[in-house]
Amino acid sequence: MAEVCGASLVVDAYGPQVVFVRRASLAELQAGAVAPLPDWGLLRLEGIDAVKFLHSQTTNDVAKQPPGEARWHGYCTAKGRLLASMLGWRDETAIRLLLPRPLAAPMRKRLSMFVLRAKVALTDDSDGSAVLGLSGAAAPAALATLGLAVPGPMQVAVAGELTVIGLPPCPVSAASEAAGSAAQAPTGLAQTPAQAAALPRWWLIAPIERLPALWSELAGRLAPVDSEAWRWMDIRCGLPRVLPAGCHAMVDADAWPQPRLMAFLQAQGAIEPAEMARTFNCGIGMAVIVKADAADAVTAALEAAGETIFRIGTVEAGDRGCTVRGSAETWSARGDWTATHHG
């Protein structure tokens, strides 16, 4: 994919990505941009039992998901630990799941373990598919030149071998950019107030053999941008992929009070603290991971907005996963304890 698009291919902890010599600008993303996205994979489920089978496997309602609508699905362990987030949709012949490329093969293998006698076939189409991201005001006209409809957010339009999926617009705050947060973003640009508008975005999915012609047409109308710029928009849309390979979260259970409900569940079930940490969120509704030198500023901003903040740990070098540590008497422990999960 990278060579066809005139870019270099590198592999990081999130999978393969394309890199162009010239970095993208925010103005280009808003005016109209196209990004090759080799870091996304595609699974296909076919067969008369496909809907029934997947309905029992993911967190969303597959049976009531109509064709033409995309929904986010989670795949969890029996204890509710999320293993993968996937965007799923149905067409006339199959259910398709778009997910991070490094997870495609493991998820196909894991789902296949539960097929048993169900009449369903699972195929990894990642190598045979090209995923492109489009953003900005000029993207609808570029799609129209390909004879493609322009779906709204979380809607799907199919034309032959091509599929277009509308994504939620990417919110961009003029105030935050003017304050300098954009200096750390891939675009490296600060905004003016006039630029502060949501970025419309779409995914275009096609057979890999269609990529040369598609790229030639789209790159002539939209600015080519790389995976870094698209990931920056993903984060702005609330879809960051945290804890890449080589990173391990160390969480201090002493850092926040155990909620009464968690204490009640633990007491009624005679549950050890380590098992509580593996099974429940134990009162942490949302975790924000930031650079260490930005922690004070982020904490102050969130507290000013009325949030209650606890410094619960750090991210260190190690195997991908999380370790929760507590001292004696924390969560009714009889001694110091730890709970580790490798994901």
Sheet containing strand 82-90, edge to edge, reads: 71-76, 82-90, 95-100, 40-46, 121-124
Instruction: Pull the structure tokens for residue 201.
Output: 């975005």
Kindly tell me the burial class for residue 227, based on how many C-beta atoms sit within 10 Å of its own C-beta (0-12, 13-18, 19 or more). Answer: buried
Backbone angles phi, psi at 317, to 5 degrees: -70, 140
Amino acid at 183: A
Please say whether the beta carbons of 269 and 289 come within 8 A: no
Rounded to an integer, the average pLDDT of 213-236 is: 91
Helices (H), the chain: 26-31, 50-55, 101-112, 139-145, 174-178, 211-219, 227-236, 260-269, 273-279, 295-304
Which residues are CB-contacts of 152 (< 8 A; sequence separation ≥ 6)?
A: 166
170-188 per-position pLDDT tens digit: 866 543 343 333 334 444 4
Please say whether the beta carbons of 319 and 119 come within 8 A: no
Rounded to an integer, the average pLDDT of 200-224 is: 96
What is the spatial distance between Cα 65 and Cα 259, in angstroms, rounded to a whole number?
36
Output the CA–CA distances (angstroms, integers) from residue 64 to 43, 52, 54, 241, in the order listed. 20, 11, 12, 28
33-78 per-position pLDDT tens digit: 999 999 999 999 999 999 999 999 999 999 999 999 999 999 998 8
pLDDT at 194 (0 to 100): 38
Instruction: Pull the structure tokens for residue 117.
Output: 């006698």
Which residues are CB-contacts of 171 (< 8 A; sequence separation ≥ 6)?
A: 198, 236, 237
Helices (H), 44-138: 50-55, 101-112
What is the spatial distance between Cα 13 and Cα 66, in angstroms, rounded to a whole number?
34
Q: Is the pTM of this model over 0.85?
A: no
pLDDT at 261 (0 to 100): 93
Instruction: Pull the structure tokens for residue 104.
Output: 């495609």
Amino acid at 44: R
What's 178's DSSP letter?
H
What is the spatial distance between Cα 179 and Cα 250, in angstroms, rounded to a whole number?
31
pLDDT at 176 (0 to 100): 35
Rounded to an integer, the average pLDDT of 22-38 is: 91
Please say whether the beta carbons of 197 and 30 come within 8 A: yes
Confidence tier at 242 by pLDDT (50, 70, 90): low
Higher per-residue pLDDT: 227 or 131: 131
